[in-house]
Amino acid sequence: MHQPATITLLAVLASCALAAPTPAVALAKRSFKVPVAPRIGLYRSPRQEIQRTYAKFGWEIITFDPSVLEGLLGGGDSAPSSGGDGGSASSSSAAAVASSSATTTATSPVMPAASATADYQGAAAPATTVASGAVGEVTATPESNESEYLEPVTIGGQTLNLDFDTGSSDLWVFSSSLSASESSGHTTYDPSTSSSFSEYQGGSWSISYGDGSSASGTVGFDKVNIGGATVNKQCVELAERISGSFVSDTNNDGLVGLAFSSINTVKPQKQSTFFENVLDSLAQPVFTANLEDNSSGTYTFGEIDSTQYSGDIHFTPIDKSQGFWQFDSSTYSVGGKTQQCTTCSPAIADTGTSLILVDDDVAQNYYAQVPSAKMDQQQGGYVYDCAAQLPTFGIAIGDYIATLTGQQVTFANLGDGTCFGGVQGNQGQGLQIYGDMLLKNFFAVFDAGNESFGIATKA
């Protein structure tokens, strides 16, 4: 899940356009499903969730207690403690810097129309082809606290557990070039054992986070299979140097980005995502996420399965100019009382983030209704008595208010009688992140054809 989307939240992006596809041979349209299995795996603390989300988006970590900043950046896990009134504010840059990016005006992504047999070519890159195939399934494993949902992905005949992330646009993996200490606990991809691998001559990628985590390496193309759908020459980024929180997340062998390719980090030519490469072979240019808490769920590509939701799907237009599934969300509700927020930041739907991060005044207004709630600087967010009766919380998806029960708001029990909320403030970062705390409670639709995001009640 760790993948910087931009140098800053203003999405300073390299403006390298993707080449147009060659004519396609018409084949039958299709769809495929990626089932999500019951979760297993490591426990990630609330503080680690705050840290990794801020690092992912290049956000600055702000605290009123300088003594806790080092712990937040270091990713260590200390005993829960209550925050107190601090002194003067301090900050440390957690800017995620994609070294492949330049400070330029953001450009809209180009969506390649690669069909089941279409050739697609980026500058100096091998042609990308999408093979036809039957509907298939692959199991995905959500980690504890829904830190991330992992899916087996086959690359050149080798299977790795990767994170589906609608908040980034790279497919990168742990590679066999890593040292034993860097790759310990991970499955690595070895291009030398794949007969279908080809190197992207001169291709590279490099990311670094303010928390000290970094990853970089070379780029190639290989046959990638997800759920029975195969891209014969999908761009794969090979981590050859890696450090920090990437190494410690032993459940995760890499990432499949499902945002838009304008924020892909490959140099010298940005590359298409797996979804973009299969887009024209799908019956519908959509994918859906039906994630669950402690149960099974499904990613579906190419159709909206009416058996997975009830009632209407509530859509809102997206603005993909920053590379995200981004939309306006200017209304929220607390305890059933709707409040307009004309100054609220835009929001993104991000399956690669666990928490819901809203503008600070929205979070403050919510927790003001919880008498025991307080900001805990050690945990990095609001905590409260686990016995507290929390009000409902709703956020706008278009004209629809997607509402969580008070019980659904809680992210984690800290073990000392206090709980950590799944709704937290974004410390004025200018973007609201609607992660799995929202998405696992609704049926979500990512519609590339109509450039919209939708949500519905689960069936």
Question: Which among 386, 395, 371 is positioned nearest to 421, based on CA atoms?
Answer: 386
- Residue 134 exposed, middle or buried by CB count within 10 Å (0-12, 13-18, 19+): exposed
Question: How far is the C-alpha of 270 from the C-alpha of 84, rounded, in Å?
Answer: 46
pLDDT at residue number 444: 98
435 domain-assigned: yes
**Start-to-end C-alpha separation, the chain:** 28
Q: What's the CA angle centered on 299, arms 294 and 305, to 5 degrees?
A: 110
The backbone region for 331, taken as left when phi is positive above 0, alpha when psi lies in -120 to 50, beta otherwise, is beta
pLDDT at residue number 35: 59
Look up residue 368 and give its two tokens.
């003001």
For the whole model, what pTM was predicted?
0.77
- For residue 455, count other CB atoms closer than 10 A to its CB: 24
pLDDT at residue number 243: 83
372 domain-assigned: yes
pLDDT at residue number 392: 99
CB 119 within 8 A of CB 25: no
Name the active-site residue from 163, 165, 359, 376: 165
Residue-number span of the structural domain to which 402 is assigned:
307-458
249 domain-assigned: no
pLDDT at residue number 278: 94
281 domain-assigned: no
What total number of domains does the chain contain? 1
424 domain-assigned: yes
CB 310 within 8 A of CB 456: yes
Q: What's the CA angle centered on 162, arms 156 and 167, to 5 degrees?
A: 120
CA 119 to chain centre: 28
**Torsion from C-alpha of 335, 338, 342, 345, nearest 10 degrees:** 40
Q: What's the CA angle centered on 300, arms 248 and 255, to 5 degrees?
A: 20
Name the active-site residue from 170, 222, 350, 447: 350
Look up residue 126 and give its two tokens.
């091998």
Q: Following DSSP, what letter does each residue of 244-288 receive, concatenated?
A: THHHH-TT--EEEE-S-GGG---BSS----HHHHHGGGBSSSEEE
The CATH number linked to 367 is 2.40.70.10
327 domain-assigned: yes
pLDDT at residue number 219: 99
Whether 165 is catalytic: yes
Look up residue 172 and give its two tokens.
């990168």
Cβ-proximal residues to 70 (8 Å cutoff; 6+ apart), any chain: none
131 domain-assigned: no
**Mean per-residue pLDDT pooled into runs of 10, the chain (459 residues):** 39 36 46 62 64 71 44 42 31 30 31 30 43 40 58 94 91 96 96 98 83 84 93 97 83 91 96 96 94 78 95 99 97 97 94 93 98 94 98 98 98 95 94 96 98 98
59 domain-assigned: no
What Å distances lie between residue 11 and 17, 285, 293, CA to CA?
A: 16, 25, 32
Look up residue 307 and give its two tokens.
């058996």
Question: How far is the C-alpha of 283 from the C-alpha of 314, rounded, in Å?
Answer: 21
